[in-house]
Chain A
Amino acid sequence: MDDWKPSPLIKPFGARKKRSWYLTWKYKLTNQRALRRFCQTGAVLFLLVTVIVNIKLILDTRRAISEANEDPEPEQDYDEALGRLEPPRRRGSGPRRVLDVEVYSSRSKVYVAVDGTTVLEDEAREQGRGIHVIVLNQATGHVMAKRVFDTYSPHEDEAMVLFLNMVAPGRVLICTVKDEGSFHLKDTAKALLRSLGSQAGPALGWRDTWAFVGRKGGPVLGEKHSKSPALSSWGDPVLLKTDVPLSSAEEAECHWADTELNRRRRRFCSKVEGYGSVCSCKDPTPIEFSPDPLPDNKVLNVPVAVIAGNRPNYLYRMLRSLLSAQGVSPQMITVFIDGYYEEPMDVVALFGLRGIQHTPISIKNARVSQHYKASLTATFNLFPEAKFAVVLEEDLDIAVDFFSFLSQSIHLLEEDDSLYCISAWNDQGYEHTAEDPALLYRVETMPGLGWVLRRSLYKEELEPKWPTPEKLWDWDMWMRMPEQRRGRECIIPDISRSYHFGIVGLNMNGYFHEAYFKKHKLNTVPGVQLRNVDSLKKEAYEVEIHRLLSEAEVLDHSKNPCEDSFLPDTEGHIYVAFIRMEKDDDFTTWTQLAKCLHIWDLDVRGNHRGLWRLFRKKNHFLVVGVPASPYSVKKPTSVTPIFLEPPPKEEGAPGAAEQT
């Protein structure tokens, strides 16, 4: 068996050996097949896992996205709110891509209608003469600016050139003439009109009518013109009807970096025109200024009320200078707009400030007065902890050290009950009469134009008695009345910390501005250290005045005070002159003297107990009214006070004018 045993083994062994390749092969084959199958199932499984993971990923991503979508929801609402402010924008991006514009020009009436909506209509008599200009947004048709340039009068064409140059390229320009627009339309302006593509504009003649629609820097879209046949008659009325194709919103906007500031800028620039480089696509003017903070700023938490009407360009200029002043805190600023005007509100929003609109009450001066009252009440309500408020107007430039000036002097209002206000404005501070940026005065008149009001004064005295709407009083005139002022005085600087640039206003015109405001001095030196502030307190000031009068050289009273030689050509001296002033309210000689010194002479300003202080030829010049002033005792007996005769009364002499 043993023998046999191996034999079958051998045999198969041999056979096996023979078949072994086949078997191995077969085995290998099956093995490989298994491997392959294994691989295949593996791959399938793999695929399945991938698919599952993928599906899960998709689901999760979708959920995450829907979650993420939830969060900008309020932002979308915000955008909607913006959209609501600007309805034509949405409409403009709709299917309708053409505006139909109607422009009418005639002697007594002009109107402009865009898509049937009248955007300008002026048929008032003796008003609105000249060239009316309207700027439309080329993408939305929204009216961005509306101006009238009375180019019958001098210099108005310069303003028009300035304005048209500021309009961004691509905007739709509409011009129409009412009554007369050519008399003072000079060559520069005509050249500009020519560059806009206008045929008739550059050739505009006396009493011609003219209507023009064109794109700034682009094609003319329509123009009509009618020549006046004779000097005494007007051209025929012209009505221009034309289609204005709208362009896409992207073309109309600049590509500023997406920041909070630029968002404000974009919103502003898509709505209004005529603010110059603030809307330039390249290097626009900054709208945030971050001036240096003031060390130890005592007025950091004093609210600032800016009283404004509908003069948005003024407001823009004013806010720029205010926000550039050292030590300003923007969150303390509130702009009060008298009326529901949109553009001033846009300006306020551009600078990211708080704006409050006020429904107009009453008319003229009383309206201004009611606006002041509401604004002051609101300011003290909004800042219940504030002891003071700074009151500014929209037509003021603010000196760079405005807040520094207040910070150094505000403690006086707290410590001295005989003070009524601190004002940044010196009524007599003209280029030729103000010298010393570190010098302060006490005056009996309330200058306004940038001043600090004490809460207790307003809440306890002024607010309860404020003139009611039916009284057509000026608020500042009312505040200057003895019943209100009650012998208290204001602190003012020698060189004003504000500058009144407004030419258009309720009580203001170009002539008046030129005569009384243009040459006013504004301090431009930053960080001026005020001198001896505590000497402005009631008793200390008297000591100071007596010192000055003792040091002063008495001028030669035989000379004519209106002559330049009245004061010697020296520097840094103190001079005194004595004028006749019979009673406390006798200002006859002072008014004449003020007139020939070319300072404010419309009413009495800047006096302190019959004493005026100003500078002449870099010398401190004191004027004492004798015998009404207590300082008359300083008059040497040999000196006869100067008396100037008032000119004979003329008809229609200017009354007490006022600054608004």
Chain B
Amino acid sequence: MSRINKNVVLALLILTSSAFLLFQLYYYKHYLSAKNAAGLSKSKGSRIGFDSIQWRAVKKFIMLTSKQNVPVFLIDPLMLELIDKNFEQVKNTSYGSTSECKFFCVPRDFTTFALQYHLRKNEEGWFRIAENMGFQCIKIESKDPRLDGIDSLSGTEIPLHYICKLATHAIHLVVFHERSGNYLWHGHLRLKEHLDRKFVPFRKLRFGRYPGAFDRPELQQVTVDGLEVLIPKDPVHFVEEIPHSRFIECRYKEARAFFQQYLDDNTVEAMAFRKSAKELLQLAAKTLNKLGVPFWMSSGTCLGWYRQCNIIPYSKDVDLGIFIQDYKSDIILAFQDAGLPLKHKFGKVEDSLELSFQGKDDVKLDIFFFYEEADHMWNGGTQAKTGKKFKYLFPKFTLCWTEFVDMKIHVPCETLEYIEANYGKTWKIPVKTWDWKRSPPNVQPNGIWPISEWDEVIQLY
């Protein structure tokens, strides 16, 4: 009797423990599949590659943004290039008919999207939902640079970047803000101290190393790997903008300090000059942009921007720089058509080229062409009376975007070096008398034009 009992007990034990085990196995599987989407996905039959974590993360993200009305578009350079190369294919496949995952399944750490902040409907609703969907998200905020130019305003911080991670793949959402001058701006991704530096490999991010500025892209809807996404209409142009998108803000604080020391000139004449100089600069920018000639603010205009975030009222002209390799012969014609006749032309394309155009209200537009040497850049000057040549040397520089007189415009990124070369270490002190042949510390005599060439290299109108 006792033996049978023992067996029964044994059997019961086994039964319960196996039931228990089964439950554990079930729970284990259930738990894992819910928590960690990777690896346990269902088979998709003939659709190849659709179980990759990249595709899944992108899909979830796109589902979320379309449901929550978050206005995003794809800006990932890798993806855009791929899409552009296979554009015919992307165009010809409609939703759901894709049999092979070609784009979003490419192995990579990030997929980058842009958020059009001004089009958003509800503030942060999607962020919490993303977290509930299994994304791990961080948000990088900062103060609004659009308020910087205004005395003593401090606002609510604005979001600059979101990074949402699903298992091993991260979505980098760059927040694009509208700025004056019809362009989009994104901020610098600066990690706060308490942030986990290993959250994602931040160094590999394609956006956020510096603030950036982009032309406002037109968008189009495409279906990529069965997912409907918005991409720029001209993806190549957008991708080309990325390496040159670095943006620098005007130094508003220093400019305020400058005006505390030297008081702003608010006379009627100063205001009138500023107005016409601003209009001239905007017109010149429009003309050159139409030609596709890159240019930057140089000399006094650059100093005005850097020192006081404004046009220097006594500077009497507007100065631009252009690399000589970007010179086009139709520049002169284009300016004439824009109502800016040529005033004088010094030098030639091979040497010391300089153009001057006559703007309205006696404001002159000077365009200096810059020549690149192994270790420096220079532009030339010519004295009309004597045919003397001058050379102004600058350390090498690259171009950055900034905002000036309600425009997105280039300045040398290495502005301080540029200005110090041109105006010396005392550039902070306003000087009203300036001799362009002697005052600049970077000027060098450069010989005399041969008289035979004068007709060509000294043209006055």
> Do A and B interact with each other, yes or no?
yes
Q: Complex formed: what's the CA distance from A381 to B149 in Å?
A: 9
Q: Which residues of A contact B275 (CB under 8 A)?
A: 464
| Stretch in A46-54, A320-328, A617-625 touching the partner | A46-54
CB distance from B215 to the nearest CB of A (A): 14
CB distance from A217 to the nearest CB of B (A): 36
Q: Which residues of B contact A465 (CB under 8 A)?
A: 271
Q: Which residues of A contact B192 (CB under 8 A)?
A: 77
Q: A74 on the interface (CB 8 Å rule)?
A: yes
Q: A170 on the interface (CB 8 Å rule)?
A: no
Q: B31 on the interface (CB 8 Å rule)?
A: yes
Residue from B13, B155, B194 within 8 A of A357 (CB atoms): B155
Residue from B31, B121, B156, B406 within 8 A of A331 (CB atoms): B121
Are B150 and A378 closer than 8 Å at their CB atoms? yes
Q: A382-B146, A468-B266 are in contact. Are A374 and B17 (CB under 8 A)?
A: no
A39's nearest neighbour on chain B, judged by CB, is: B10
Are A356 and B17 closer than 8 Å at their CB atoms? no
Q: B14 on the interface (CB 8 Å rule)?
A: yes
Residue from A68, A73, A359 within 8 A of B152 (CB atoms): A359
Are B32 and A384 closer than 8 Å at their CB atoms? no
Q: Which residues of A contact B95 (CB under 8 A)?
A: none
Size of interface on B: residues with Cβ below 8 Å to A: 55
Are A43 and B146 closer than 8 Å at their CB atoms? no
Q: B123 on the interface (CB 8 Å rule)?
A: yes
CB distance from B407 to the nearest CB of A (A): 11
Q: A64 on the interface (CB 8 Å rule)?
A: yes
Are B36 and A64 closer than 8 Å at their CB atoms? yes
Interface residues of B in 366-419 (CB under 8 A from A): 406
Residue from B14, B180, B181 within 8 A of A380 (CB atoms): B180
| Stretch in B132-140, B222-230, B325-333, B350-358 touching the partner | B132-140
Q: A19 on the interface (CB 8 Å rule)?
A: no
Q: A559 on the interface (CB 8 Å rule)?
A: no
Residue from A73, A75, A356 within 8 A of B156 (CB atoms): A356
Are A260 and B125 closer than 8 Å at their CB atoms? yes
Q: B128 on the interface (CB 8 Å rule)?
A: yes
Are A43 and B144 closer than 8 Å at their CB atoms? no
Q: Which residues of A contact B47 (CB under 8 A)?
A: none
Q: A53-B21, A464-B271 are in contact. Are A357 and B153 (CB under 8 A)?
A: yes
Q: A73-B196, A356-B155, A374-B151 are in contact. Are A383 and B118 (CB under 8 A)?
A: yes
Q: A292 on the interface (CB 8 Å rule)?
A: no
Q: Give the one of B35, B36, B199 with max A CB within 10 A.
A: B35
Are B154 and A50 closer than 8 Å at their CB atoms? no
Are A64 and B35 closer than 8 Å at their CB atoms? yes
Q: B81 on the interface (CB 8 Å rule)?
A: no
Q: Complex formed: what's the CA distance from A62 to B406 in Å?
A: 55
Q: Complex formed: what's the CA distance from A75 to B151 in Å?
A: 33
CB distance from A319 to the nearest CB of B (A): 15
Are A355 and B128 closer than 8 Å at their CB atoms? no
Q: Which residues of B contact A71 (CB under 8 A)?
A: 131, 135-137
Closest 9 pairs between A and B when the two form their complex, measured CB to CB: A359-B152, A71-B136, A356-B155, A384-B180, A381-B146, A74-B138, A64-B35, A374-B150, A377-B150
Query: A357-B155, A380-B180 given. 9 additional CB < 8 A pairs?
Result: A43-B14, A50-B21, A77-B194, A331-B120, A355-B155, A359-B151, A377-B150, A385-B182, A464-B274
Q: List 18 A-B contacts (CB under 8 A).
A: A50-B20, A50-B21, A61-B31, A64-B35, A71-B136, A71-B137, A73-B196, A77-B194, A260-B125, A260-B128, A355-B155, A357-B153, A357-B155, A359-B152, A370-B151, A377-B149, A381-B149, A464-B271
The chain B residues found within 8 Å of chain A, CB to CB, are 7, 10, 13-14, 17-18, 20-21, 24-25, 27-28, 31-32, 35-36, 118, 120-121, 123-125, 128, 131, 135-139, 144, 146-147, 149-156, 178-182, 192, 194-196, 199, 266, 271, 274-275, 406
